[in-house]
């Protein structure tokens, strides 16, 4: 879903030396001249709040773009151009809401889960679900060691199953999923169908990451999904875990793959 900016009618008013753009829903026609001063004072206050929200959200998007530019060299080296995909599903409204969250605090908890997975010899992906300011689910990748290797027990899938097991009255649209690696196509589909409102991830999956999908081109079940994506929170910390994993010859899962080469090249 492309980045959407709220449309505004280019009507300018001037007050105390500042220009402001009024939205179409703030305009009232046929206002008497005698009431104009009161009207514009109220509109300036409303417009000021709206402009401030825009500035905060755009600042966040700018920060994300700066982080993405630092990794684009590695993506180009491996013939992968995924930088633009990072901003396709972030809207102004959702961006402003997500800014109120402490990304790093929750991502550190997901990294703790990834560390536990690494210590158990598993692929180091961790995940937590946050609802109303509290972590309600912890999960990590399973099924990457021994003879029972599978592509089902991804950290996100484990987390979603545990969310169901909670049997609580939860508004999934207000749940934020924090994951130390970009979700794959399977996980992103399950996240959308589960109604999760936002995904925050640390390290990009250049081999199987799916957040660059154009949801509008998919079937209605998926294209109607509303989700926000925030990338590269504590990316370096997650990268170090994957380096540790791929540098250990005893770890055979995805050894020698594009992801392994991309990771070890940094």
Instruction: Answer yes or no: are the C-beta atoms of 89 and 61 closer than 8 Å.
Output: no
- Check if 204 is active-site: no
Nearest to 96 by CA among 132, 53, 130: 53
Instruction: Answer yes or no: are the C-beta atoms of 240 and 180 closer than 8 Å.
Output: no
Query: From the candidates 75, 119, 156, 204, which is the catalytic residue?
Result: 156
Nearest to 181 by CA among 142, 125, 129, 130: 125
Instruction: Answer yes or no: are the C-beta atoms of 127 and 110 closer than 8 Å.
Output: yes
Which residues does the annotation mark as catalytic? 156
């Amino acid at each position: 879903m492309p980045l959407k900016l709220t449309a505004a009618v280019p009507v300018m008013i001037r007050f105390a030396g500042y220009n402001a753009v009024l939205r179409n829903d703030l305009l009232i026609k046929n206002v008497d001249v005698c009431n104009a001063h009161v009207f514009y004072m109220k509109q300036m206050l409303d417009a000021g709040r709206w402009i401030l929200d825009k500035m905060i959200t755009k600042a966040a998007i700018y920060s994300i773009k700066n982080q993405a530019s630092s990794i684009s060299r590695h993506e180009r080296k491996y013939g992968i151009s995924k930088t633009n995909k990072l901003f396709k599903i972030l809207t102004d409204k959702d961006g402003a809401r997500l800014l109120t969250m402490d990304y790093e605090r929750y991502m550190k908890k997901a990294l703790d889960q990834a560390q536990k997975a690494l210590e158990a010899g598993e692929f180091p992906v961790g995940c937590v679900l946050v609802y109303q300011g509290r972590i309600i689910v912890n999960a990590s990748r399973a099924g990457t060691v021994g003879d029972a290797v599978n592509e089902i027990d991804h950290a996100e899938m484990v987390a979603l199953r545990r969310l169901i097991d909670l049997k609580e009255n939860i508004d999934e649209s207000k749940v934020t999923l924090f994951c130390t690696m970009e979700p794959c196509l399977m996980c992103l589909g399950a996240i959308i169908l589960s109604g999760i409102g936002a995904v925050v991830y640390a390290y990009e999956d250049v081999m199987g990451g799916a957040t660059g999908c154009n949801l509008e081109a998919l079937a209605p079940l998926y294209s109607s999904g509303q989700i926000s994506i925030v990338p590269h929170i504590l990316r370096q910390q997650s990268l170090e875990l994957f380096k540790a994993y791929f540098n250990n010859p005893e770890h055979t899962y995805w050894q020698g793959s594009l992801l392994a080469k991309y990771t070890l090249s940094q």
